[in-house]
Amino acid sequence: MPAKRSLTLALALLLVAAIPVRATGFPAITVVDEIRPGPDGSNALWTSGRLGDHLYFNADDGATGYELWRTNGTVTTRLRDINSGPASAEPYGFTALGDWLYFTANDGTTGHELWRTNGTITNQVFDIYSGAEGSFPNNLTAFGDWLYFTGSNAANGQELWRTNGSSTEIVEDINGIGSFGSDPSGFSALGEWLYFSADDGSNGYELWRTNGTSTNLVFDINPIGDSSPNYFAALGEWLYFSAGDGASGFELWRTNGTSTARVSAVSYPSELTTFGNYVYFRADDGTTGYELWRTNGTTTARVADINPSGADSSNPSGFTPFGDWLYFTAVDSTFGFELWRTNGNSTARVADINQGVEDSAPRGFTALGDYLYFAADDGTGVPKFWRVSSQGLIESAVLSGTNSFIGCLCENPIIALDGRLFSILSTSETGSEFAYLDEPTFGLPGTNRDGSVWSTALVLLAALTAVAGVGLRMRGVRHS
């Protein structure tokens, strides 16, 4: 063989070796039973947040109560016994801002107040409600250089606050009538403003916004009572939400801060989720029950009548974008609550995990690498660990232990941290402890993306083999 061809083939083989291999099969699950060894369990991860390469959470080691812990899957440590002794600090609401993770905790002296940690230092940010009462900071939301939240004190009641870690201040006493409070909620960012629902004592619960300097009522949607705006979702220059004007019931609205108007007359829109160029949601048109809808502000239409039995609802929920599809849970006239997906043009059930009319009730949808992970019941009566590929292929994990099941009835039953996935795994041997798996496809380039590292490698390989006189046929990946 000529030297030139030998050299070219050698380079090609080296390039092939450099292309990452994608592992197949459900990754192994590792149970971490070191916080509270034995069958009682630490009940970790019921509330959690991430900062850097660590996952922070509360857990009970059996001696110090529910306190602040962190893990990267390799090392798990308690950062501080905030409420010293066997009493619990009950940290929750973990939200990152800059190099710090903020949360609410009770030190046993000042009540539930705002705290923060950077993994080395853990301290109280500010005692908003002096004494043992506690301000109960809630709705922690990072916006710009500040963390916004609701907090209560004796003078103002539940109002809008913010902190940057150095300065903590009330943003606005929206309901200025003593300690009644405006009870802000639903914080959602659009442009340079943070929108939310609040009651100023005169107009009821209406749509407000703040940029930290100016705080104002956006629009009094229901002039005779509460419009109670909620389920916010941003699309382009507009913020979409559900609200009631007092005459037409709860319907779909939107605002850009200057103009606020009703988008559609469908009733009780909820679970608004931005996907592609549309906001998807669940709503009832009065004829087909609660079904899947979408809007781009100009056109609002039902995507599919999943349960076409008259006014029976499919009640879609848990909308989660993954690749070119929006995944969710829904019920039709034949099967129970199962896994569905849509791309706006095609809507179909992905799998009947719990065969027949019974529910598998998929939940905790979390994307990692080439898969969407979730918990679902295949008929055993307890949730198992499942995943679906972008092609719609389903597979489940084999869980170790006796009477084992995955997840919890909590805000985030499955949590992704870089290429690692965490969840609660309960067994008779360990109780409820956290477990993790490593997803081999995390961070690897897709094979069907032009210009990716993967596709570039294939192009170079094709060129090299062509020089060597060897043909290489490349075939695009088809999606269902």
Of 12 and 294, more confident? 294
Q: How many whole angstroms separate alpha carbon 107 and alpha carbon 62?
A: 18
Cα-based distances in Å from 116 to 84, 125, 346: 17, 7, 45
Percent of the chain with pLDDT over 90: 80
Give yes or no for residue 335 having a pLDDT over 80.
Answer: yes
Q: What is the pLDDT of residues 304-322, one digit of tens each?
A: 999 998 779 999 999 999 9
Give yes or no for residue 370 having a pLDDT over 60.
Answer: yes
Q: What is the pLDDT of residues 46-86, one digit of tens each?
A: 999 999 999 999 999 999 999 999 999 899 999 999 999 99
Say what the pLDDT of residue 24 is. Answer: 62
Percent of the chain with pLDDT over 70: 87
Say what the pLDDT of residue 3 is. Answer: 52
Q: How many whole angstroms separate alpha carbon 131 and alpha carbon 265?
A: 49
| Structural domain of 386 | 3-25+68-404+435-467
Q: How many whole angstroms separate alpha carbon 64 and alpha carbon 359?
A: 39
Q: How many whole angstroms separate alpha carbon 186 and alpha carbon 339?
A: 28
Q: Which of 164-168, 206-210, 264-268, 404-408 bottoms out in mean pLDDT, i.e. has the lowest?
A: 404-408
CB 33, CB 59: distance < 8 Å: no
Give yes or no for residue 178 having a pLDDT over 70.
Answer: yes
97: Cβ contacts below 8 Å, ≥ 6 apart:
142, 145, 146, 147, 164, 165
Task: Place 444 in a pLDDT band, splitting at 50, 70 and 90.
Answer: low
Burial of 239 (0-12, 13-18, 19+ CB in 10 A): buried
Say what the pLDDT of residue 455 is. Answer: 40
Task: Classify residue 339: in a domain, yes or no.
Answer: yes
Give yes or no for residue 158 having a pLDDT over 60.
Answer: yes
Task: Place 268 in a pLDDT band, splitting at 50, 70 and 90.
Answer: very high
Task: Specify the pTM.
Answer: 0.87
Q: What is the pLDDT of residues 133-144, one digit of tens each?
A: 999 999 999 999
Task: Classify residue 257: in a domain, yes or no.
Answer: yes
Q: How many whole angstroms separate alpha carbon 114 and alpha carbon 91?
A: 10
Q: What is the pLDDT of residues 398-417, one digit of tens each?
A: 898 999 999 887 778 899 99
Q: CATH number of the domain that 213 lies in?
A: 2.130.10
Task: Classify residue 87: in a domain, yes or no.
Answer: yes
Say what the pLDDT of residue 89 is. Answer: 98
Task: Classify residue 419: in a domain, yes or no.
Answer: no
Task: Classify residue 118: in a domain, yes or no.
Answer: yes
Amino acid at 79: L
Number of domains in the chain: 1
Task: Place 25 in a pLDDT band, splitting at 50, 70 and 90.
Answer: confident
Task: Classify residue 393: in a domain, yes or no.
Answer: yes
Q: In what order do the strands lie in the sheet with 250-255?
A: 230-235, 238-244, 250-255, 260-264
Task: Classify residue 452: in a domain, yes or no.
Answer: yes
Task: Classify residue 146: in a domain, yes or no.
Answer: yes
